[in-house]
Amino acid sequence: MPLQFVYSNQDFVIDVCRSSGNGHRLASPPVKFDRIIQAGWRDRMERGLFRYHLGDLQTRILPGPHGYVAQLNVQRGTERRKPQEILSIQQEFDGKQFNFNRINPEEIIFEMMKSTEGDTDLHDNGPLHQPCRIVVLVNVSPLEFGHCLFVPDPSCCFPQTLTRFAIQVGIESVLLSSDPGFRVGFNSLGAFASVNHLHLHGYYLDHELKIESMPVKPLVPEKGFFRLLDFPAGFLFYTESEEVEKVARAICEVTDFLVDGNISHNLFLTRGCPPHDCIEKEKDHCSRKGVRIAVWPRISCFGAKEESAFNVALCELAGHLPFKNKKDYELTTEKDVIDIIQSYLLPDSEFLRLEQQLTCHLMDL
């Protein structure tokens, strides 16, 4: 029987900051959520359940204003499971393909569930009736320390399409961690998702990313909806602990709109400072009490040849670049990175049209 972790809103960690200067996290004792993930992940690594041993990765910050965090992770590029053939963003779940009901049970770290005392939202999800159980398992081809997968009740066999419940779990997982380096992300089908079974990624990266404090333009601020004002072009939601359910609904409206329009997308969730068009106070820049959720609509990749240097998925768009070979890791410049990522983004005219459509869509709700 897997370890059970039951949480409530009272378990959210509010007082999280970044140190000024070096961009690293402030030392703070890990809370129960972090302790369970980290101890369970190390245990599975020591027991040889991963496809390769992941030690401290060679890391460098690329020169330039974007501060890209480059890491050399050759074995993830060579040893990971071959991605499934994906033909459509709306592809149905196929039980004959690999899915998370087929894993070694030893890969499960724990199951988490939100206490529903005084919280009707998880019981009142309209016609979806989403499950409340989340299975947390190790990613056996890890890209960084603590890399795990959050799978909403695997037995329900949901395809890799975001639901409001999954989005809320992602946001709440970030809030449950006391480490500003804990990130959560999602790749849709056609956006380098390798398994068509609903899951989110979570991992620790002990380096500040520009997305944590990037300036934004308000679009529908009352629903937490903004546009990123720097590369790569995308949208941003922001929430603090008391607004999670409302913002999760708005995010789901956007991702449903993208799925209906056959537009692939990546999400990245991280601790971040409140939305702004410019930072005026150092304390605001260091604040990490809320969660930033970046949404990048992008060109779909179905059976496309993978980039030799890195794939463009959730972590690369956020500024974390796992490189597959030493030469690219050592020689790639910020301009090279921007050129590669740009080739996967929507053309400017298409992005602006989508921005107008999404703004109207959210305002009409």
List residues with catalytic annotation. 199
Neighbour tally for 38: CB within 10 Å? 17
Q: What angle do CA 81, 83, 88 make, to 5 degrees?
A: 160
Pairing of strands 148-152, 182-187: unpaired
Question: Which residues are 171's β-sheet partners?
Answer: none
Neighbour tally for 66: CB within 10 Å? 19
Q: Are 274 and 287 in contact (CB under 8 A)?
A: yes
Report the distance separating Cα 197 and Cα 354, nearest Å: 27
Backbone angles phi, psi at 129, to 5 degrees: 50, 60
The beta strand positions in 273-325, using DSSP E, are: 290-298, 320-323
Q: Are 185 and 165 in contact (CB under 8 A)?
A: no
Torsion angle of the four alpha carbons 65, 178, 235, 22, in this order, in degrees rounded to the nearest 10: -10
| 7-10 own/partner pairs: CB under 8 Å, 24+ apart | 7/33, 7/112, 7/113, 7/114, 7/115, 7/172, 7/176, 8/114, 8/115, 8/117, 8/119, 9/119, 9/241
Residue from 196, 202, 218 nearest 269 by CA: 202
Evaluated on CA atoms 159, 160, 162, 166, the torsion sign reads positive
Around 168, how many Cα atoms within 13 Å sit in the side-chain half-sphere? 25
Torsion angle of the four alpha carbons 242, 201, 350, 302, in this order, in degrees rounded to the nearest 10: -160
Pairing of strands 182-187, 264-272: antiparallel
Read off the DSSP letter of residue 345.
B
